[in-house]
Amino acid sequence: MRIGIDVGGTGIQVGLVNKELKIISEASIPTRTDIPFEEQVQQIASCVLSVISSAGLDPEEIESVGVGIPGIASASGEIIKCTNMGWHHVPFSEVFHRFYNKPVFVDNDANVAALAESVAGVSAGTSSSVFITIGTGIGSGIIINGRIWKGCHGIGGELGHVIFDLDGVPCSCGNHGCLERYCSATAIIRMAREAAKLHPDSMLMKLAGNNPSEVTAKTVFDAARQEDPVAVEVYHRFIGYLAQAVASVVNLIDPEVIVLGGGVSKAGSFLLKPLVREFPRYVLFDDQPLPEIKLAVLGSEAGIIGAAMLT
Amino acid sequence: MRIGIDVGGTGIQVGLVNKELKIISEASIPTRTDIPFEEQVQQIASCVLSVISSAGLDPEEIESVGVGIPGIASASGEIIKCTNMGWHHVPFSEVFHRFYNKPVFVDNDANVAALAESVAGVSAGTSSSVFITIGTGIGSGIIINGRIWKGCHGIGGELGHVIFDLDGVPCSCGNHGCLERYCSATAIIRMAREAAKLHPDSMLMKLAGNNPSEVTAKTVFDAARQEDPVAVEVYHRFIGYLAQAVASVVNLIDPEVIVLGGGVSKAGSFLLKPLVREFPRYVLFDDQPLPEIKLAVLGSEAGIIGAAMLT
């Protein structure tokens, strides 16, 4: 039995995961950035202990505690940077041990989700995979030889900030042309709003209540499914960008499977089918067997399950 | 004692490598694409046996034979694709065994050079590194946990064909905007020729005998060292592109060391110094310890030494 903790911007999910990699008990607390770090950790530890006791277990029966954070951490459990939580160089494991003394492992949330899918999800049984989460930004996690590869200094796996378009769209990171400016929900919305303004009579515009700032990624997919030409054009551009991003991952890393998660992946086969058709033309050795592209299956459970599997 | 073979477009180098990873005996034969595959392999095997005997050794004393090719190969020693040699799906190991029956390993030449530097060169002692060879194109090899990572299907490690500039400069591979179109000697030459045409009185143009088509990467570096403004502008653009390429490798893979080899790396500190200064600004977590950037040290010996180390 292991504990997995998924630290998010609004809530912290705690789950007890059994040997079959199922969540058997779960609870959550709101994310609090208005209290000191030690207090945040204490609240998390209390939640952990209550999840254990509500499953009728003794805290001693737990093997380890894993934590996924929207940031980076060291192997020793120091959180190096977690901007959402206001944590910079804070000794998470050390403080957590004051309340509950079990081995603690901390890693980036996309790495954790990558691990979860590779042991209990769609890429289970593979030894290498790249998980790409397509939401507001692009997160990614690399699994090589069955283990998370987060780099020598813990700063790898950031596919979203690979240069994808020299001198291109400005990114929140301060650079220009980062991959996530073209392959995220934010990118779909940017392209769609520009198109909607030019085509006030489009279905896309109608679905957004005639307000371009109400356009979402879902509006675009919905209108494209109904063959609205304005939405279809944005959809095709987005698929083309994502195909080039996926092919770049193949050309450089060539994992067994590439897993797509995050909000945009909910478009399902409407996203996957054209992508699988299109990405090989951007692969250098496209006459060879290629990685499979699959949709994530664990959804929000990936954060808890993957964290519980950290070692 | 192991044999390393470096298959190139004009010649095939064979070397005997000792336990200290030094080449103690060496010979070469011309590359022949006008004869059948079996004959090519027979000539290579003869050269191997003569290198062994000229070192006063018995063929039985050799542990293994490794081969680096400008192409891709399977784990079983089948060469899948090696366009320069006209080899497509040829059973190299099987044919080689007819002439000399020792374990044979075949891998891509950039992977082999990456391995060589990581065991006997500038990245010796590290467990992760990315080797980038900057020549006519961009080759690369990834070392993770001390071993070559060439991908699940053997088609990874092709940094040169990662998308770097959406809808950018056409590439020989058929796509647009591949990284090697901006970071290779060919890219320097393209940019410099365009600049030279616009500035017929530049030193760059003079060093090229007033013939833009005589401009080489070396001409550009030579003129830039002498502060020719036209060459300096091309040099800065190139360094900027390479910095973004290096930072992309850091953001995604974050190895312990990034090693630069190939013809352009001969520019030495004139290339390395500004690059080391510039790449961190494109790294997402640029306030963390970052990979070291180093120049390759093994030169043309990397092909033989790395091949000999294949397992």
* Tens of pLDDT, residues B4-51: 999 998 899 999 999 999 999 999 999 998 999 999 999 999 999 999
Residue A127: what pLDDT?
97
- Which residues of chain A have a CB within 8 Å of the CB of B242? none
At residue A265, the 3 state secondary structure works out as helix
Contact between residue A57 and residue A16 where contact means Cβ atoms under 8 Å apart? yes
Q: Which two tokens stand for residue A137?
A: 């930004």
Residue B147: what pLDDT?
96
Q: Which two tokens stand for residue B190?
A: 């393209």
Give the separation between CA B220 and CA B191, rounded to whole angstroms. Answer: 10
- Which residues of chain B have a CB within 8 Å of the CB of A289? 153
If you ran DSSP here, which 8-state letter would residue A165 be given? Answer: B
User: What mean pLDDT is reported for chain B?
Assistant: 96
Contact between residue A224 and residue A144 where contact means Cβ atoms under 8 Å apart? no
Contact between residue B245 and residue B183 where contact means Cβ atoms under 8 Å apart? yes
Distances (CA, A) of B174 to A283, A284, B137, B180: 10, 9, 14, 13
Under the banding of pLDDT at 50, 70 and 90, the label for residue B84 is confident
**Helical spans, DSSP H, in chain B:** 37-54, 92-99, 109-120, 180-183, 185-198, 203-207, 217-225, 229-252, 269-278, 301-308
Which of B176, B251, B286 is the mutation pick for testing A, counting most A CBs within 10 A? B251
Residue A83: what pLDDT?
87
Q: Is B280 on the interface with A (CB under 8 A)?
A: no
What HEC string does B38-80 produce? Answer: HHHHHHHHHHHHHHHHHCCCCHHHCCCEEEEECCEECCCCCEE
* Tens of pLDDT, residues B247-287: 999 999 999 999 999 999 999 999 999 999 999 999 999 99
Q: Is B80 on the interface with A (CB under 8 A)?
A: yes
Under the banding of pLDDT at 50, 70 and 90, the label for residue B101 is very high
Residue A93: what pLDDT?
97
Burial level of B221, CB count in 10 A (0-12/13-18/19+)? Answer: buried
Residue B83: what pLDDT?
87
- Which residues of chain B have a CB within 8 Å of the CB of A126? 152
Give the separation between CA A142 and CA A126, rounded to whole angstroms. Answer: 12
Which of A173, A253, A293 is the mutation pick for testing B, counting most B CBs within 10 A? A253
Under the banding of pLDDT at 50, 70 and 90, the label for residue B75 is confident
Contact between residue A120 and residue A305 where contact means Cβ atoms under 8 Å apart? yes
Residue B133: what pLDDT?
97
- Which residues of chain B have a CB within 8 Å of the CB of A288? 72, 80-81, 153-155
Give the separation between CA B308 and CA B113, rounded to whole angstroms. Answer: 11
* Tens of pLDDT, residues A63-102: 999 999 999 999 899 999 998 888 999 999 999 999 999 9
Residue A84: what pLDDT?
85
Give the gyration radius of chain B's Cα atoms.
Answer: 20
Residue A214 has pLDDT above 90, yes or no: yes
In percent, the amount of chain B with pLDDT more than 70 equals 100
- Label residue B291 left, alpha or beta by phi (over 0 means left) and psi (-120 to 50 means alpha): beta
Contact between residue A83 and residue A71 where contact means Cβ atoms under 8 Å apart? yes
Residue A173: what pLDDT?
92
Helix axis angle for B217-225 and B229-252, nearest 10°, is 110
**Residue of B144, B151, B164 lying closest to A166 (CB–CB):** B164
The amino acid present at B109, given as its one-letter code, is D
Convert A233-268 to b/e letters by CB count within 10 Å (16 or more is b): bbbebbbbbbbbbbbbbbbbbbbbbbbbbbebbbbe
**Residue of B162, B245, B250 lying closest to A155 (CB–CB):** B250
User: What mean pLDDT is reported for chain A?
Assistant: 96
Please name which of A167, A219, A168 lies closest in space to residue A193, comparing C-alpha atoms.
A219
Per-window interface: B 11-70 vs A, CB < 8 A: none
* Tens of pLDDT, residues A23-60: 999 999 999 989 999 999 999 999 999 999 999 999 99
Q: Which two tokens stand for residue A31?
A: 């994310």
Strand order in the sheet with B79-82: B72-73, B79-82, B87-90
At residue B183, the 3 state secondary structure works out as helix
Give the separation between CA B105 and CA B4, rounded to whole angstroms. Answer: 10
Residue A75: what pLDDT?
87
Per-window interface: A 193-212 vs B, CB < 8 A: none
Give the separation between CA A154 and CA A198, rounded to whole angstroms. Answer: 44
Q: Which two tokens stand for residue B134?
A: 């900057």
Which residues are CB-contacts of A40 (< 8 A; sequence separation ≥ 6)? A32, A85
Which of B150, B163, B288 is the mutation pick for testing A, counting most A CBs within 10 A? B163
In percent, the amount of chain A with pLDDT more than 90 equals 95
Q: Is B244 on the interface with A (CB under 8 A)?
A: yes
Contact between residue B4 and residue B303 where contact means Cβ atoms under 8 Å apart? yes
The amino acid present at A105, given as its one-letter code, is F
ipTM of the complex: 0.95
CB pair distance less than 8 Å for A288 and B255:
no
Contact between residue B14 and residue B5 where contact means Cβ atoms under 8 Å apart? yes
CB pair distance less than 8 Å for B251 and A285:
no
Residue B235 has pLDDT above 90, yes or no: yes
- What average pLDDT does range B199-220 have in this prediction? 93
- What average pLDDT does range B192-217 have in this prediction? 93
Give the separation between CA A141 and CA A81, rounded to whole angstroms. Answer: 17
Residue A9 has pLDDT above 90, yes or no: no
- Which residues of chain A have a CB within 8 Å of the CB of B181? none
Give the separation between CA A106 and CA A92, rounded to whole angstroms. Answer: 8
Q: Is B150 on the interface with A (CB under 8 A)?
A: yes
Half-sphere exposure (CA, 13 Å, Cβ side) for A193? 11
> What phi and psi values does residue B24 have, to the nearest 5 degrees?
-105, -10
Supply the pTM of this predicted model.
Answer: 0.95
**Residue of B126, B151, B285 lying closest to A81 (CB–CB):** B285
